[in-house]
Amino acid sequence: MSLFRKKSISTILKNAETENQHESLAKHLGVKDLTAFGIAAIIGAGIFSTIGKASADGGPGVIMLFIFTALACSFAAFAYAEFASLIPVSGSAYTYSYVAFGELFAWIIGWALIMEYAIGNVTVAISWSDYFSSLIKNTTNYTVNEWLCLDYFTAKKNYELVSSMLVAGVPLDEIQKNGQTSGLIEGFVAYGQAPKLFGLRLIFDLPALLINVIITMLVYRGIKESRNASNIMVLIKIIVVLIVIFFGAFFIDTKNWNPFLPNGIGGLLKGISAVFFAYIGFDAISTTAEECKNPQRDLPRGILFSILICTVLYVAIALVITGMVSYTELNVGDPLAYVFEKIQSLKWLSGIIAVSAVVAMASVMLVFQLGQPRIWMSMSRDGLLPKAFAKIHPKYKTPSFSTIFTGVLVALPIFFVDINMVTDICSAGTLFAFCLVCAGVLKLRMDPTAPKSKFKTPYVNSKFIIPTLFLLTCFLLYFFNKSWFDYYLKFESFNAFVTKIPMYFFFLGFAVISVMSFKFNFSLIPTLGLLSCFYMLSQLGYKNWLYFTAWLIIGLIIYFAYGHKHSKLAQSNK
């Protein structure tokens, strides 16, 4: 079928070589630069923000979640590394899916990756704005007006909620002191004090918009400049994280590690979205393949080195902060700064942490803003997007139009986005891409005519391991967690059934993969990558599945309206 027409690896490499003869990207990246890009993408909101909520939900045992997520990402990273070595072009998961599953799946992945890079950067920009505004407030005599660091709809919603409480007789002081309602005050003040233009209140996140413009300009200017900026920011981040670990270790009280899992496995898994979001970004390295000096050797190393380094740092930080204070105190937006402010002799560190958090967020934006234009460039080369997206700047050797378009796409939602919803949707799009890349490796391994990659994931036959794992999981759930088993077999109402659909899909997929592993002797590592990423996807909740489905439907409409007709494969087959 034309929807599943595939591109051969030889055709992709030949086309990339032809493109490079005309408008090539500049090759400046080595393994150190790629590892730095990976660290730049991974160490951001996860270590400076979301680690707090994950620790509050899971307790000190959150380190288990970091390790599990790191393993899942490492399994997926092996698949990315194998593909990157085999197909060293800028398309990342989009190109890999084109080879393994055909054009329709390639488009779906390309569309899903917009959620990871462009939409994900909306979240990062807003988080950066929060840290930057706090830094200005705490270190200078200036403050950023509330109506200049919040989106319109959040401000209006919070204003209405606080107003209703005031009408009900709740004093403003009480609202401010209550931990569950204190976060509404910023929106209440922003909406109340915002100036009006033609009757409409002017409320927008100015710092988030400014950092987006600055990062876009840097990425537009060139890969060499982006590399240098990334390397500097990564060095700053790692130094600060090591300082935090070193000084914090002297103030650990091991009593805070007991109980280790205060809320059980259920509480631990509540943080899975936040912890996975902390690892998002390592795959962006693969989008720079055409700017690498030796992509087939260096890309796999850069991907795996960055995950390993970041996992060690994440686990160490989690142990330190849960050892310094009780996990119950960590559900705050800036957990690292909060922990060190509580210890008088270490208060000086909180200012350094605040500065490094601003640097960390900026570096994440830089890598994401690098990745998205290169995905669009690859899709444009295949005819699925207009030719303008593949245009290379004659002087700076960057995908110029795609870079500017990415900047605009990130800027617009900043005015109205719900940051929590975007975080989960971003995770959904990324996990879906990871699943397909792992499945793609398995599919290529089944093709005896497929070329061999210079980097190959170690082969372990999963013929008996995966089916045994499936049966063991069912056995343990039935005999040792009967309530969980009964819950998913009980049909109380349609709404309750809908909430369980993601887990039903996971177990159905687990059963199918077990059968296929037995029949086709699947390689163990990519199979585990597929299963673990699929499991994390099932834990994001049914609403995120609905949002993601709606996003895919929009993408399919665009594909059938433009991409399917203009595809170069379609033209060549006529």
Q: pLDDT band for position 521 (50/70/90)? A: very high
Lowest mean pLDDT segment, chosen from 9-13, 144-148, 349-353, 356-360: 9-13
Average pLDDT over residues 486-498: 72
Lowest mean pLDDT segment, chosen from 225-234, 399-408, 412-421, 490-499: 412-421
Q: pLDDT band for position 414 (50/70/90)? A: confident
Residue 70, token pair as written in the block: 């790191």
Residue 228 in any domain: the answer is yes
Q: Are strands 196-197 and 200-201 parallel, antiparallel or unpaired?
A: antiparallel
pLDDT at 417: 66
Q: Which three-class secondary structure state does DSSP give residue 55?
A: helix
Q: pLDDT band for position 573 (50/70/90)? A: low
Q: pLDDT band for position 553 (50/70/90)? A: very high
Angle subtended at Cα 248 by Cα 65 and Cα 363, rounded to the nearest 5 degrees: 65
How many Å separate Cα 209 from the centre of its chain? 20
Domain that holds residue 255: 2-139+208-441
Average pLDDT, the chain: 81
- Domain identity same for 30 and 179: no
Q: pLDDT band for position 571 (50/70/90)? A: low
pLDDT at 19: 57
Residue from 395, 392, 412, 455 nearest 87 by CA: 455
- Domain identity same for 390 and 432: yes
Residue 500 in any domain: the answer is no
- Domain identity same for 123 and 181: no
Residue with tokens 């922990």: 339
pLDDT at 512 over 90: yes
Percent of the chain with pLDDT over 70: 88
The domain that contains 39 carries what CATH number?
1.20.1740.10
Asked whether the beta carbons of 374 and 405 are under 8 A apart, the reply is no
pLDDT at 165 over 70: yes
Lowest mean pLDDT segment, chosen from 71-75, 390-394, 442-446, 454-458: 454-458
- Domain identity same for 191 and 332: no
Q: pLDDT band for position 520 (50/70/90)? A: very high
Angle between helices 347-381 and 400-411 (to 10 degrees): 130
pLDDT at 41: 79
Domain final residue, candidates 393, 421, 441: 441
- Domain identity same for 40 and 161: no
Q: Please tell me the pTM assigned to this model.
A: 0.81
Q: Which three-class secondary structure state does DSSP give residue 200?
A: strand
pLDDT at 326: 84
pLDDT at 49: 64
- How do residues 466-486 score in pLDDT, each as one tens digit? 999 999 988 887 777 777 667
- How do residues 174-223 score in pLDDT, each as one tens digit? 887 775 676 678 788 888 888 888 878 888 888 889 999 999 998 888 77
- Domain identity same for 173 and 252: no
Domain final residue, candidates 404, 422, 441: 441
- Domain identity same for 433 and 360: yes
Average pLDDT over residues 311-317: 85
Asked whether the beta carbons of 74 and 541 are under 8 A apart, the reply is no
- Domain identity same for 33 and 75: yes
pLDDT at 527: 94
Domain final residue, candidates 419, 441, 463: 441
Quote the CA–CA distance of 464 and 119 in Å, as a whole number: 40
Residue 562's alpha-carbon distances to 121, 213, 555, in angstroms, are: 26, 29, 11
Average pLDDT over residues 299-312: 85
Q: How many separate domains does the chain show?
A: 2
Average pLDDT over residues 101-127: 83
